[in-house]
Amino acid sequence: MFFYAAALFCIIYFFHRRLCCRYPLFTDYPIIGMLPDLLCNLWRIHDFSVEVLKSHGGTGEFTGPWFTNMNYLITSDPINVHHILSKNFKNYVKGPEFREIFQAFGDGIFTADGEAWKYNRDLFQSLFKHKSFELFLEKTIRKKVQNSLLVVLEHVQQHGSVVDLQDVFNRFTFDNICSTVLGYDPCCLSLDFPEVAIEKAFNEVEESIFYRHVMPKRVWKVQKWLQMGREKTMTEACKSFDEFIHALIASKFEALSRCNENEETGEDCADLLTTLMREGNKEQHDDIFLRDAVFNLFVAGRDTLTSALTWFFWLVATNPLVEEKILEEINQNFGSNEENAVLSAEEVKKLVYLHGAICETLRLFPPIPFERKQALEGDVLPSGHCVNPRTMILFSLYAMGRFEEIWGKDCMELKPERWISQKGGIVYVPSYKFVAFNAGPRTCLGKDLSFLQMKIVAAAILRNYHVQVVEGSVPTPSLSVVLLMKDGFKVKITKRET
C-alpha cells in the first residue's frame, strides 16, 4: 500500500513540477532537478549561461532539487531587465533570501529594501556629490598611483620579472578604498608584496557567497551549523574583517573627538567613515550601521575596480590596434610623459577613446556578472514569461554583453568606436542594455567616480609601460560574485619609449 501511495505522490508531484516549470533551461531530472547540468558546467558557468540563454531566446527557468526552493527565472532580455529594474521597480526587491545569502553585507545599501535602502541611498548620494569628497578621492588615488603603483611597476620592469597584474590591482584598490573610506593605508601594494590577512579574508567572503548561490540552502545551512567547508571559511573571514573594522571605528571616534576639540575639519578627517560619523547621531549611525556601510563601500569601490582594470589590460594587451589608438589620443592631448606625471580628473575627461575602451571592457566582462531580484506579486514580463509571487529572478549581465540582438554581429569584438559619436562625443546607451552600473532607481551612485579612477590608472600605466601577456596564459573567470581571473593575470612589463 505504501509503495502505491509513494508512486502516486511522485507522479502527481512530477506533473505539478512540469506545470510550474514551463520554460526549462536544462534537463529536469527527478528529485535532483536541473542541478547536474549546473554542477557539470560550474567551472565555465558564465559562458555556459550565454550558450543556454541564447538557445532559449534569452529567458528560461532553472529548478533545483525537490523541496530545496532553489528555483530561478533567468533572463538576459533587455526589455525584461528594463521592466524589472525600472518600470515595475516597486514589485521587485532584494528580499529576505538575498539578505540571508549575502549575510556578510549586513543591512547595507546593496541588501536593503524599502526605507532602509532609501535612507542609505540618500545619505551616500549627498556624500559622493560633495565637492570636498571628489577632491579628496582624486588626491588620494593620484598619490597612490604616483607613490605606489608606478613605483612597483618600475621595479618589476627593471628586474624583468613576471608579475600578477590582478594581484597588483587587488592591492592597489584595497589600499585606495581603505584610504578613501577609513583614512588608513594598509600598504598592501609595496615592493615586498606582503600578505595582508584582512585583504585575504575579504576575498574569501566573496567566494563563499558565490557558492551559496549554487548549493541548496539546506546544504550550506547545515555546513554553517557544523562549521565546515566554505561556511567555516566564511565565518572566520567575517570575524577577521569585523574585528579590523570595529577597531578602526573605535579609533575613528577618538580621532573625531580630537578633531572636534581642536576644531579641525581638514583632510585628516575627510574620509567617508569620519563623514558618516559626523552626519548622524550615535543611535542612527551606531557601530553596526558603520560596519555594514564600510563593507558595502569596500565591495563597491574595490573588487569591481580590480575586475574592470584586470580585464581592461588583458583586452588592450591582446588588441594592439586599440592600445595604439589609446596612446595616440593621450599623446595628442598631453604629449610625452617624461616626468611620469599622473593626469588629473579634468584631464582624463578629454580621453573619449579610452572611455569607450573601458565601456567595452565592462560590456564584455561586467564586474558583477549577475544580478538577483525577487518578485513581491505575480507579474507577466514583456517577453510573455509569467512571474509568480516570490519568484527569484537572475539577470546574466555577462550574457547580455554577448548577444547579437543587443550589440550587433560584432558583439564579441573589442570596439571602443561603438561608444563614440560622429562628433567625437560619448554615445549614450540605455542602462537596461548596458547594466554594468545597474539600472533604474538602483543605478550605481559611484559610476562617475569609478570611470574617473579607472581612467587615471589606465592612462598612467599605458603612458609609461607596455603590458605583455605571458605566453600560454588563458584567463578563466573565477567562481565568485565578482568577475575576477581565477589564476591571476601574469604579465611582463616593459618601459614605454618616449
Residue 20 marked ligand-binding: no
The total of other beta-carbon atoms located within 10 Å of residue 408's CB is 11
Q: What is the C-alpha R_g of the chain?
A: 24
Nearest CA to 64 out of 213, 195, 184, 167 is that of: 213
| Pairing relationship of beta strands 392-396 and 379-380 according to DSSP bridges | unpaired
How far apart CA 59 and CA 385 sit, in angstroms, is: 8
Q: Report the C-alpha gap between 434 and 428 in whole angstroms.
A: 10
Nearest to 61 by CA among 23, 116, 29, 91: 23
Contact 43, 83 (CB under 8 A): no
Partners of 491 in the β-ladder: 163, 469
| Cα(425)–Cα(59) distance, integer angstroms | 34
**SS3 state of residue 27:** coil
Contact in structure between 269 and 259 (CB atoms under 8 Å): yes
Measured CA to CA, the distance from residue 101 to residue 95 in angstroms comes to 10
- Torsions phi, psi of 116, nearest 5? -65, -45
Amino acid identity for residue 310 in this structure: T
Give the integer Cα–Cα distance in Å for 313 and 3. Answer: 62
Instruction: Please compute, for residue 269, the number of CA atoms within 13 A of its CA located in the half-sphere on the CB side.
Output: 22
Binding site feature residues? 444
| Binding-site annotation, residues for heme | 444
